[in-house]
Amino acid sequence: MKPAPFAYKKVRSLDEAVALLGEKDARLLAGGQSLIATLNMRLSSPSLLIDINGLDGLSNISEKGGAVEIGALARHAQAERSDVIAKHAPLIARAMPHIGHPAIRNRGTLGGSIAFADPAAELPACLLALDGEVDATGPKGKRTIKAQDFFRGLFETALAPQEVLTAIRVPAADKGARVGFAELARRHGDYAIVGLAASARADGKGLSNVRLAYFGVGNTPVRAKKAEAALASGSIDAAVAALDLDPNDDVMATARLKKHLAGVLLRRVAKQLLEAGS
């Protein structure tokens, strides 16, 4: 199938992108790895594509003031190879190889992935697990949105229709930071059936500030708060028993199987969190 006809404009400034987003049925084009597929299948038919790939200053990855900032146009492959991400954002480093295949990671952007908000995607769950935030610019200027307020529903975010996501930020990992990541997919590179991104603080021989963000189990990335509390109290078995998830059946698996797999992943990730130097 071919896409419905659309106009195309490559913008040279953020202001121009914001202004054009005011036009009826306009849509931003970043890496195109999700958008073009939806156009080809005629799941969406925007009248105007606003290509933001030429915008300067939106693809930097840096560590500053205890935070890692990733520009919206940073490609997945760029993050995968980044020393800054490897050293200061190890959870994102662990997740990157699971995102699609190399050709997809060469074009797909981190901003596109967060803005698209696929509930089975890795990066939204990482952002939530790390208590990160999103910068967006619209007609009223720039604002910052916490991850917990950003993912609103199925493919739905807190971005207003005329806002461009410009960067994401996560706390830089220090010595006491622990992270864990695991997912189950039919084939490596497929979207996950169920996945888990987690962060915590080392606390003696145990953990505190545990954040478990599941993906593939709901309309958004989902925190398992009762399991977080049980894991912080020291028991992996109790955490699995407390798993407070309510997935639906989908094309990949039944709800029952997803709940079972969520427990399997929790055991794997809990071990990673408890390992020194994880």
Judged by the rule CB under 6 A, the positions of this chain that interact with ligand FAD are 27-35, 37, 72, 99-100, 104, 108-109, 111-113, 115-116, 118, 121-123, 159, 164-165, 191
Residue linked to tokens 């054009």? 20
Contacts of residue 257, defined as CB under 8 A and 6 or more positions apart, other chains included, come to 193
- For residue 109, the 8-state DSSP code is B
Q: Give the residue with the Cβ less far from ligand FAD, 32 or 206.
A: 32
Q: Give the residue with the Cβ less far from ligand FAD, 29 or 262.
A: 29
Start-end of H helices in 110-250:
110-116, 122-129, 147-150, 225-232, 236-241
Q: Give the residue with the Cβ less far from ligand FAD, 185 or 229.
A: 185
Nearest distance from C-beta of residue 227 to ligand FAD, angstroms: 23
Q: Give the residue with the Cβ less far from ligand FAD, 192 or 231.
A: 192
Contacts of residue 212, defined as CB under 8 A and 6 or more positions apart, other chains included, come to 129, 196, 198, 223, 224, 227, 228, 231, 266, 269
Closest CB to ligand FAD: residue number: 108
Nearest distance from C-beta of residue 24 to ligand FAD, angstroms: 15
Residue linked to tokens 């894991």? 231
Nearest distance from C-beta of residue 211 to ligand FAD, angstroms: 19
Q: Specify whether the CB–CB gap between 142 and 136 falls below 8 A.
A: yes
* Closest listed residue to residue 47, CA positions, set 3, 1, 7, 2: 7
Q: How many residues does the chain have?
A: 278
Q: Give the residue with the Cβ less far from ligand FAD, 194 or 239.
A: 194
Nearest distance from C-beta of residue 109 to ligand FAD, angstroms: 3
∠ Cα 84 270 96 (to 5°): 35
Nearest distance from C-beta of residue 98 to ligand FAD, angstroms: 6
Q: Give the residue with the Cβ less far from ligand FAD, 151 or 230.
A: 151
Nearest distance from C-beta of residue 102 to ligand FAD, angstroms: 11
